[in-house]
Chains A and B, each alone.
Chain A
Amino acid sequence: MPGEKKTKTVKTIKVDVDKCNGCRACEVICSAFHAAPKYSSNNPERSRIRVIREPLKDVYVPVYAGEYTPAECMGRDKYIIDGKEYDECAFCRASCPSRSLFKEPDSGLPLKCDMCEGEDEPLCVKWCIVDALTYEEREEEVEEGEEMEEMEVGLEALADKFGMDKIRDAMARLSQHKKD
């Protein structure tokens, strides 16, 4: 029931940016795993993890695709870490309208890390043999809520982009099509 507290195993990945060497192996394997059929192709642009690389500024930050957000947020702040200036957006996990990151390259639909559902261990962690990524599980009390399915997130994104009416029309046309 929504609202009730439950313990749940939360899967997390710890990112040690100091250890990252910018190889993008994590992107390779993530995109391969999510290809259909599995591993049949790969394309880092479909990956749910992205390595923000700015070698000359020594920025190497693997970022996981997080929630989809229909609107841009207010925060576009700058951070200064260790004397270097960073753009807040660079490290943001959201798939948001202001950038193409964490979207399928052809459909524009948002991507989200699903912790490699079905695998013992997230594959990006497995392929990062320098240990910049490590897998952790922890028990947490969470409020039980309905998680949005991947498809719903996608549909919501489409609705945000084209408007609900257009989507409804398209669906109607499509179902007509399929029936024929």
Chain B
Amino acid sequence: MRYGETGFNLEIDLTTGNIERVETDPRDTELYLGGLGTNAKLIWDRVPPEADAFSPENLLIFASGLLCGTPATGCNRTIVTTISPQTKLMAFSMMGGFWAPELKYAGYDKVIFRGKSPELVYLYINNDKVELRAAEHLRGRGSVETAELIRQELKEPKAQVAAIGMAGENRVFFASIEQGRSSASRGGIGAVMGDKNLKAVVVRGTKDISLARPAEFMELCQEVLEYIKFRNENPVPGVMPILAGLGSPQEMKVHDEKWHTENFSWGNSRTRRKEFWSEEVERDWTETMDKMRTRLISCYNCPMTCGATISPPGMPTYMMKCFSKLTYTMAAFADLEFGLGIAQSATEYGVDGFSAPQVMAFALELLENGILTDEDFPGMPEDNEGRFYWLLDHIVRREGIGDILADGTYWAAQRIGKGAEEYAHNNIKKHEQLPLKLSMLNPIYFIMYATGEKINITQIEGQFPQAPFPKREHREAFVKDWFQVPDEKFKQYFLDWEPRGENSIPYYPTPPMVCDIVDWQERMHYIDDALGMCAGLSSFPLKPPYHIHNYPKFISAGAGYDMDEEKLTQAIKRYRTLVRANNTRRGMRRKDEQPPKDHWKKRFPELEQELLDTYYAFKGWNSDGIPTETTLRELGLDYVADDFIERGILTKDEEAPPQKAAADQEKEA
């Protein structure tokens, strides 16, 4: 008997309509855990590097995490993995909500799609009954609308539906998959779903999920719940509200948007509005929020209420996930009322709330600067807000200029030419980033931005404070109950971190310390994505209830694997390296690992190179960011090493990388 996971995947060949239930190898789970880990293995094994995102060979994998559906609070992520049409790399986006646990209750860990359906279809999974059904009548329907129509059609009000809207159908490069109160947005995986002619994946399950050592597991769950209560009552002092508590930033609860509106950039990611947040704005925004927000809502088995149902006047109600609250507003220099309104359309169309607003602002910037002209925007309204609605509409329909913009700022700029590239200035690996334009290079963030393969910074950062606290006594107070650290040295790093002077950024934390810090942050995220845990209770906030010390116990008691911190760390390193290997094989190299040029005003080219060199060595990658043969073999990834050598990506006898944490080495030296 398998614990935690069901031990079965569904294999769907959309070309032939063939459906199979396939037992999986428990050894794979032990090596790569579940969720993103085993997804990365499937992509390696079955998607050749030559296969384009829109080729039938590309897989689209809907996976639950290893512990989804168990009573572990907040463990509800669906991890969707494929090749991104935009970055051409492995895309993996996580969504909360209710879908993954339902899949587990239906008796499956993953649904793996290959091929392309000749007609628009949806997949209906009802326990052992799995069928592809015609979806032509749903073409053009919104994602939320589609979910409702399917539930009615199937007479299954409890079915969970992950669907694409028009953007996905039309292969918009930043199309999302929407589900419940969540979405998988980054990397344009909705476009791959649309390309496969798959409108929705519907699941309903009524089976049991078993635990290996129930009493132990429940005790751990109880501790987590208690700690959540404690943290709710004791927010971290001295940090901004979204960092003080748990849950993904809780945008829906928090009225005070001073920090985001003044620190993130407006428009096409250019303009900081330092004094934006006035009393009047605050009053106005609070009123709008109170008027439109019906209820704060949660994902499956989590008390944190990070989302909300929003009812904009004259528009259907929809569910909003954390941050899209501000993205459209800020791209358009508009108010919250506009933002919450347009997000309704954007959710139905199914587009990524980070990319879509930036693409629209980019188009208008090109127009203002004469690179595009009025003729490119026939019939576009005069007013600012109307223009955004017009643009959104044309993008998701791929009409006129919208067809070009639908490829995202990077590819659109290439197609437009005439210097448009200069305006696509907020990309990493061809994908739009959070609109941050800051002053001083932050070495920790530099490494995360440059080397992260998750494409989104909020899915890499966490654990370590974003900035030093002003006084040593604050820092001392902070480290006192910081039991989540994997090693005591992190406390010292933080204690010595000063806002000014010798121990301040960009030269402190030192490159070796940066390696340790980033590695810890990244490790936590990768654990979450294997287990299906929400980052909001684990890798993202400071002092979370899940951490490196209790995770191995959760896995042992839940899934029955013999797990400790070291073994877990090794498993995570293995599959994180495999994610990189997938991308290495697709051509990703050091040259791609660059934050946007204007991301920070003050840059330090030499330091940046040193940071990259140190981090690559720390990770066991060569100076081009490619995992070395020694690293690969040590992790049991011999098949990757062989493949790299065969393809000439690596040559034999490459130098062995340093084995120890770089900071320890420095100390010894």
List of B residues within 8 angstroms of A96 by Cβ: none
Known: A39-B211, A55-B319, A58-B295. Is A21-B305 also a contact (CB below 8 A)?
Answer: yes
B70 closest partner in A (C-beta):
A42
Q: Tell whether B303 is near chain A: CB-to-CB under 8 Å.
A: yes
Shortest distance in angstroms between B18's beta carbon and chain A's nearest beta carbon? 28
Shortest distance in angstroms between A18's beta carbon and chain B's nearest beta carbon? 8
Q: Are B209 and A43 in contact (CB under 8 A)?
A: yes
List of B residues within 8 angstroms of A46 by Cβ: 208
Q: Are A56 and B301 in contact (CB under 8 A)?
A: no
Q: Tell whether A135 is near chain B: CB-to-CB under 8 Å.
A: no
Q: Are B181 and A56 in contact (CB under 8 A)?
A: no
List of B residues within 8 angstroms of A43 by Cβ: 105, 206-209
A31 closest partner in B (C-beta):
B208
Per the 8 Å Cβ criterion, residues 23-60 of A in contact with B are 23-25, 28-29, 32, 35, 37-46, 54-58, 60
Q: Tell whether B225 is near chain A: CB-to-CB under 8 Å.
A: yes
Known: A43-B209, A56-B317, A129-B228. Is A23-B303 also a contact (CB below 8 A)?
Answer: yes
Q: Tell whether B578 is near chain A: CB-to-CB under 8 Å.
A: no
Known: A23-B303, A39-B214, A39-B217. Is A44-B298 also a contact (CB below 8 A)?
Answer: no
The 10 closest A-B pairs by CB, nearest first: A39-B214, A23-B298, A41-B208, A45-B206, A105-B206, A21-B298, A43-B208, A41-B210, A40-B214, A129-B303
Cα–Cα, bound, A37→B318 (Å): 41
**Given A39-B214, A43-B105, A56-B309, 19 further pairs, Cβ under 8 A:** A23-B299, A23-B301, A25-B73, A28-B71, A32-B218, A37-B214, A39-B218, A41-B209, A41-B210, A42-B71, A42-B208, A55-B309, A56-B316, A56-B318, A58-B294, A58-B295, A60-B297, A129-B232, A130-B303
Q: Tell whether B328 is near chain A: CB-to-CB under 8 Å.
A: no
Q: A interface, how many residues as a size bin?
A: 20 to 34
Q: Are B302 and A32 in contact (CB under 8 A)?
A: no
Q: Are B298 and A45 in contact (CB under 8 A)?
A: no
Q: Tell whether B133 is near chain A: CB-to-CB under 8 Å.
A: no
Q: Tell whether B144 is near chain A: CB-to-CB under 8 Å.
A: yes
Known: A25-B301, A29-B71, A129-B229. Is A41-B144 also a contact (CB below 8 A)?
Answer: no
Shortest distance in angstroms between B314's beta carbon and chain A's nearest beta carbon? 16
Residue in B225, B303, B317 whose Cβ sees the most chain A Cβ within 10 Å: B303
Q: Are B300 and A24 in contact (CB under 8 A)?
A: yes
Return the contact of B303 from the options A21, A32, A35 (Cβ within 8 A).
A21
Q: Are A22 and B297 in contact (CB under 8 A)?
A: yes
Per the 8 Å Cβ criterion, residues 203-241 of B in contact with A are 206-211, 214-215, 217-218, 225, 228-229, 232
Known: A41-B211, A42-B71. Is A24-B301 also a contact (CB below 8 A)?
Answer: yes
Cα–Cα, bound, A160→B303 (Å): 40
List of A residues within 8 angstroms of B228 by Cβ: 129
Q: Tell whether B131 is near chain A: CB-to-CB under 8 Å.
A: no
List of B residues within 8 angstroms of A130 by Cβ: 303, 305
Shortest distance in angstroms between A76's beta carbon and chain B's nearest beta carbon? 16
- Chain B 163-200, CB-CB to A under 8 Å as 1, else 0, gives 00000000000000000110000000000000000000
- Chain A 97-135, CB-CB to B under 8 Å as 1, else 0, gives 000000001000000000000000000000111100000
Q: Are B316 and A38 in contact (CB under 8 A)?
A: no
Cα–Cα, bound, A32→B209 (Å): 10
Q: Tell whether B256 is near chain A: CB-to-CB under 8 Å.
A: no
Shortest distance in angstroms between B667's beta carbon and chain A's nearest beta carbon? 43
Q: Tell whether B613 is near chain A: CB-to-CB under 8 Å.
A: no
List of B residues within 8 angstroms of A58 by Cβ: 294-295, 309, 317
List of A residues within 8 angstroms of B215 by Cβ: 38-39
Q: Are B225 and A127 in contact (CB under 8 A)?
A: yes
Known: A55-B319, A60-B295. Is A23-B214 also a contact (CB below 8 A)?
Answer: no
- Chain B 313-353, CB-CB to A under 8 Å as 1, else 0, gives 00011110000000000000000000000000000000000
Cα–Cα, bound, A151→B344 (Å): 50
List of B residues within 8 angstroms of A44 by Cβ: 105
- Chain B 62-88, CB-CB to A under 8 Å as 1, else 0, gives 000000011101000000000000000
B299 closest partner in A (C-beta):
A23
List of B residues within 8 angstroms of A54 by Cβ: 157
Q: Are A45 and B105 in contact (CB under 8 A)?
A: yes
Return the contact of B209 from the options A25, A37, A42, A128 (Cβ within 8 A).
A42
List of A residues within 8 angstroms of B296 by Cβ: 21
